[in-house]
Amino acid sequence: MAPKRNRRAGVEDRWYKTIYDEQKQPQRVESSNHGKGKRWRARYVDDDGREHVRGFTRKTDAQQWLDEVTAAQVTGTYIDPAKGKVTFASFYREWSTRQVWVTGTAQAMNLAANSVIFSDVALADLRPSHIEKWVRSMVDADLQPSTIKTRFNNVRSVLRAAVRDRMLAHDPSQNVALPRVRRTEAAMVIPTPREVGALLRGSDDDFRAFVGLCAFAGLRLGEAAALQVRDIDFLRREIQVRRQVQKANGHAVEIRGPKYGSERIIPAPQGLLDLLSAHSAHWRVGTNPERWMFPGRGEHPWHQNSVGYRWRKTRESAGARDLRLHDLRHFYASGLIAAGCDVVTVQRALGHHSAAVTLTTYSHLWPDASDRTRKAADGLFAEATADALRTEDDKTPINQGV
């Protein structure tokens, strides 16, 4: 292996060279390159020991270029010119092979990366204008703002990886405006207790406990389907979420960790535990701790297709055609909030990866300052007027009979 060159930099005159006469005095004479090509040559050696050379007509231009390179090396923004020629598409192909994505994430990343209009643009040439044109093309294609935001964030993760790998000096997607994602309270459907009761009554015997898990423990579809016997502690009245079921490529069933790594223990109401106990006894789930609570065909539990069929049947029976299974999770969250649970408690129960997600989704359900002010004023009014509205003799309201 060849020795690594020392880092050095400088500007040299190609047209003249210095020699020493017999008295060892320096003499400036024309070189063999005199009058040929550009006079000034700037060169530097990078961190990997590779030498880079560029010619200039004027010495000031050569020195300015070299100063910029040196400053970039000092500040950590230096990019090897050869690396900067790598295109977005080629970088993504190489980078994606090193990622530990689950199937769904890989599909989403590939979809986003393949949708850009700058695949063949060299990373060093990427500008915010490229990103803006891509965003505009998605808007023109009538994609939903939420879809555009998801694809943008996925592509941005690629660009940030390029910055970390010193393929890009800066993230060109920074400060690029996106179409506004409008969140309306009307978009969230929260079933009433009467509707949830109708769903439980309309469920087939093998599906009733599943509906209960979504409505009274807030489990996602994949989390409820992946429950095993060992995940339910009837003595401690707890349900442990350890895994989820996902379908890969539309048919293969995968068992993996919960969304956002949201393993958690949920305090379970006694009514839900009774449902689960009856389900276990009726369907002979058994005592094997690794047995699925909702066994499907073969060795796999239920999945999106098998649950979807049962949910549509239940919804039809209950006369609730517009409800989604995920709306039961909103029902659970709204119940916790109405009971006075704080943000962190709700976040942990639902398995959100941050309290910010909980607030973004359910902030409109928490009492705001106006609600608290109104409630406090009601209390003050009741206390202050308790005696004022009664006579001294019989303590009956003064205005009674008026």
Which two structure tokens, joined as six digits, stand for 319?
């006369």
* Per-residue pLDDT of the chain in tens (402 residues, 90 and over written 9): 444 444 567 788 888 888 888 888 888 888 888 888 898 888 877 766 777 788 888 888 888 877 776 766 655 555 555 565 788 998 999 899 999 887 878 889 999 999 999 999 988 889 999 999 999 999 999 999 989 999 999 999 999 999 888 788 789 999 999 998 776 544 789 999 999 999 999 999 999 999 999 999 999 999 999 999 999 999 999 999 999 998 766 567 888 888 877 899 999 999 999 999 999 988 887 778 999 999 988 888 999 999 999 999 999 999 987 899 999 999 999 999 999 999 999 999 999 999 999 998 998 888 876 777 777 888 787 877 776 655 555 555 545 543
Quote the CA–CA distance of 144 and 137 in Å, as a whole number.
12
Looking at 151-197, which runs of residues are DSSP E strands?
A: none
Same domain, 204 and 324: yes
- Say what the pLDDT of residue 80 is: 57
The verdict on residue 358 lying in a domain is no
Where among 24, 50, 78 does a domain terminate? 78
Quote the CA–CA distance of 111 and 292 in Å, as a whole number.
33
- Say what the pLDDT of residue 341 is: 93
The verdict on residue 172 lying in a domain is no
Reported as type and span, the H/E element at residue 52 is: strand 51-56
Same domain, 64 and 107: no
Residue 124 DSSP one-character state: G
Quote the CA–CA distance of 100 and 93 in Å, as a whole number.
14
Domain CATH number, residue 211? 1.10.443.10
Same domain, 374 and 339: no
Which two structure tokens, joined as six digits, stand for 329?
């999770």
Quote the CA–CA distance of 374 and 351 in Å, as a whole number.
32
- Say what the pLDDT of residue 402 is: 39
Contact 131, 176 (CB under 8 A): yes
Same domain, 48 and 95: no
Classify 336 as helix, strand or coil.
helix
Where among 30, 57, 78 does a domain terminate? 78
- Torsion sign across C-alpha atoms 222, 228, 232, 233: negative
The verdict on residue 207 lying in a domain is yes
Same domain, 275 and 197: yes
Same domain, 297 and 194: yes
Same domain, 194 and 317: yes
The verdict on residue 95 lying in a domain is yes
Quote the CA–CA distance of 225 and 306 in Å, as a whole number.
10
Which two structure tokens, joined as six digits, stand for 334?
């709204």
The verdict on residue 357 lying in a domain is no
Quote the CA–CA distance of 17 and 34 in Å, as a whole number.
10
Contact 190, 149 (CB under 8 A): no
DSSP of 131-159:
HHHHHHHHHHTT--HHHHHHHHHHHHHHH
Residue the block writes with tokens 């080629």: 90
The verdict on residue 389 lying in a domain is yes
Reported as type and span, the H/E element at residue 369 is: helix 369-384
Same domain, 58 and 96: no
Reported as type and span, the H/E element at residue 245 is: strand 244-248
Same domain, 159 and 246: no
Same domain, 333 and 373: no
Same domain, 387 and 262: no
How many folded domains does the chain comprise?
4
| Domain boundaries, position 45 | 9-78
Where among 47, 78, 109 does a domain terminate? 78
The verdict on residue 306 lying in a domain is yes
* Closest to 96 measured CA to CA, from 139, 20, 154, 38: 154
The verdict on residue 362 lying in a domain is no
Same domain, 69 and 17: yes
